[in-house]
Amino acid sequence: MINFGQRILVDHVELFIMAIKFQYNKTSLQNLEKQLKIRVKALPTIKSKESALRVEVKRARDDVRRLDKLLEKKIREYDNMVLLWGEFDTSLIRIEDVRMVVKKIAGVKTPVLKGVDFHIEKFSVFSKPNWFLDGMSLVKELATVGIEREFYHQKMILLENARKKTTQKVNLFEKVQIPGYEDAIRKIKRFMEDEENLSKSAQKIVKSRQQEMEVAV
């Protein structure tokens, strides 16, 4: 007895077979065998890509978690100086540019952070508190870690979406299309064998009757 999941797969295969346009002849058989061969040959490559994407998704997720922890640590450092931030002039520092490149991972284009450039207004160190430079460094670190975290998060989303699509394709080939083509091929071969057997039987009957007629004469 098959379970619910297996029943759904069987239904999908049957629907696919119904959707395949074929005739019970040698030309149609050759065409189906060609389509089957293409999918059987492509399946290992697609499976390999799926495995690679799973690894890369996990790696990106681990990077996001690592940066989340680092960001929490930086925020705690920020909180420790919270009483002093009222004296900090936020207009002195701003993000000027976020440099990035696009890198292909398992065929998927992903963003890679190359660096964050800050613009710092000129100011007199002597007119600011002693902690001011440390505060400036902390702001830069917070911003950089936060931006880097977003890059890895976007990378994870892109890779996960690609992984899902690849998994769907693996399932389509492995559980629907390949079994569907194999079943359609079996049906054509069975039909052609039956037709050949009928033809041979008919030939034997005709030959037998001819022999009977020759004997009678």
pLDDT value, residue 69: 93
Q: Mean pLDDT per segment of 10 residues, for the chain of length 217 residues? A: 53 58 85 93 95 96 95 79 64 90 93 93 75 79 92 96 95 89 90 76 67 61
* Domain contains 185: yes
Q: Which pLDDT score is estimated for 214? A: 63
Query: Which residue from 50, 4, 41, 27 is spatially nearest to 169, judged by alpha carbons?
Result: 50
Judge whether 197 and 84 are in contact, CB under 8 Å: no
Q: Is 89 helix (H, G, I), strand (E, B) or coil?
A: coil
Q: Are 166 and 50 in contact (CB under 8 A)?
A: yes
Identify the CA nearest to 162 among candidates 209, 125, 109, 89: 109
7 within domain boundaries:
no
Burial of 190 from C-beta contacts in 10 A (0-12 / 13-18 / 19+): exposed
SS3 206: helix
Could you tell me if residue 18 is inside a domain?
no
Quick count: other Cβ atoms within 10 Å of Cβ 59? 15
Domains contained in the chain, number = 1
Q: What are phi and psi of 21, to 5 degrees?
A: -95, 115
Amino acid 83: pLDDT:
55
CATH number of the domain at 44, please.
Answer: 1.10.287.3240
Residue 176 placed within a domain:
yes
Q: How far apart are CA 19 and CA 34, in angstroms?
A: 17
Q: Is residue 209 part of a domain?
A: no
**Can you give the residue range of the structural domain that contains 84?**
29-203
Q: What is the CA radius of gyration of the chain?
A: 34
Q: What is the pLDDT of residue 51?
A: 95
